Amino acid sequence: MNRQENVIHALLADGDTLDAASLPWRVCELCVRRLSLSAASVALISGPQSRGSLAAGGRLAGRVEELQFRLGEGPCVEAFDHGVPALEPDLAAGGLARWPGFARAALALGVRAVFAVPLQVGAARVGALDLARDTAGPLDGDELADVLVLADVTTSAVLFLQSGAPDGALGATLAQAGSDRIVVHQATGMVSAQLRIPVADALARLRAFAVATDRDLDEVAGAVVGRRLRLDE
C-alpha cells in the first residue's frame, strides 16, 4: 500500500462509510489521535478578512484558530498567503520572531509547536490545515508526509462539498463554516461607517481593540453590533 492508501485506510478505520461532510472532522481526529499533534483544525480562507473553521479536533484547536483570526497572523495565515507549508517546531524560539503576537498568546495557552499546510489546487487556495502540539520538535518525515496527504484529501472533500452549489453560493456544509464569524463581519461594517474608513482598516481597528483589551474578537464584535461599544468615541 502506498502512503495515500494508508492514510485513506486510517480515515476509514472507524467506520465503513465516509462522506465528504464528515471527512474534515475525521482528518482532525486522526491528526490528534494517531499523529503526535494535540490540536487540528480545517480553516476555509478566502483572504485576510474571511476565515472560518470547517472542522476541529483537540482541546486547543478553537483557541489557536481564534487567535489567528484575532491577530491576523500565524502559521495558517502564512501557509494560505504563500501557498507552502508553514512549519514552526519551536514556537518559543523561531515562532516569537515570526509571529510575535500569535506566538506569545499561543505559548500562554501551552502550545509549543505549530504547523500549517495550505489546501490548494494549483494556484487556487481554499484554506489550510492548521496543527498545533504541546511539545516542541519537528514533525518527523513520515508525519509530515501523512499531513501533506491529509491536506490533499481534505481539499478534495472541500471541493466536492462545493460542487453543485449554485453560482455565487456556498455548498450547504461549507456555509456552516465561519458562520460564527458573521458578527465580526457585521461589526466591521459598522466600524467602517462609524470611522468612515475602508472595511479592511475597520477590521484592523477591531482586532487592535480586542488585543489591547485582551478580549476575544467575537466578544468585541458582539458589543459593537449590540451598540454597547463604538470605536469612534
Partner 1 sequence: MTGQEGASVVREQRLVRAFVELADTLVSGFDVVEFMSMLAARSVDLLDLAAAGVLLDDQRGQLRVVAASDEKVRLLELLELQHDGGPCTEAFHRGVAVQVGAAEALRRWPRFATQAAGLGYQVMCALPLRLRDQTVGALNLFRATTQPLDAVDLGVGQALADVATIGLLQERSMRESRLLAEQLQVALNSRVALEQAKGVLAEQTGLSIDQAFEVLRRFARQHNLRLVDVARRVVSGELSGSGIAGL
In the complex, the smallest distance separating the C-beta of residue 119 from partner 1, rounded to whole angstroms, is 9
Nearest to 73 by CA among 59, 58, 60, 88: 88
Identified binder of partner 1 from the candidate list 57, 147, 192, 220, rule CB under 8 A = 192
The single residue among 32, 87, 187, 217 that binds partner 1, judged by CB under 8 A, is 187
Find the shortest distance in angstroms from Cβ 155 to partner 1. 8
Which of these segments, 53-61, 77-85, 86-94, 166-174, binds partner 1 (CB under 8 A)? 166-174
- Residue 213: which H helix or E strand, with range? helix 199-213
Q: Is residue 167 a contact residue for partner 1 (CB under 8 A)?
A: yes
Q: How far is CA 9 from CA 16, 36, 208, 216, in A?
A: 10, 18, 45, 39
Candidate residues 186, 215, 216, 222; the one interacting with partner 1 per rule CB under 8 A? 186
Shortest gap between Cβ of 56 and partner 1 (angstroms)? 18
Give the total of residues touching partner 1 (CB under 8 A).
40
- 158 is a contact residue toward partner 1 (CB under 8 A): yes
157 by Cβ neighbours in 10 Å (0-12 / 13-18 / 19+) ranks as buried
Binder to partner 1 among 47, 83, 100, 137 (CB under 8 A)? 47
Nearer to partner 1, 4 or 36 (CB): 4
Q: Is 226 exposed, middle or buried (0-12, 13-18, 19+ CB in 10 A)?
A: exposed
Q: Which residues contact 94 (CB under 8 A, 6 or more apart)?
A: 88
- Measure the N-to-C terminal CA separation of the chain; round to a whole number of Å: 63
For residue 170 the three cell numbers come to 456556498
Choose, by CB under 8 A, the member of 86, 178, 207, 220 that binds partner 1: 178
The alpha-carbon radius of gyration of the chain (Å, integer) is 18
Q: Which is nearer to partner 1, 37 or 187 (CB)?
A: 187
50 belongs to the binding site for partner 1 (CB under 8 A): yes
Q: How many CB atoms lie within 10 A of CB 200?
A: 12
Binding site for partner 1 (CB under 8 A): 44-47, 49-50, 52, 120-122, 124-126, 156, 158-159, 162-163, 165, 167-171, 174-175, 178, 182, 185-194, 199, 225
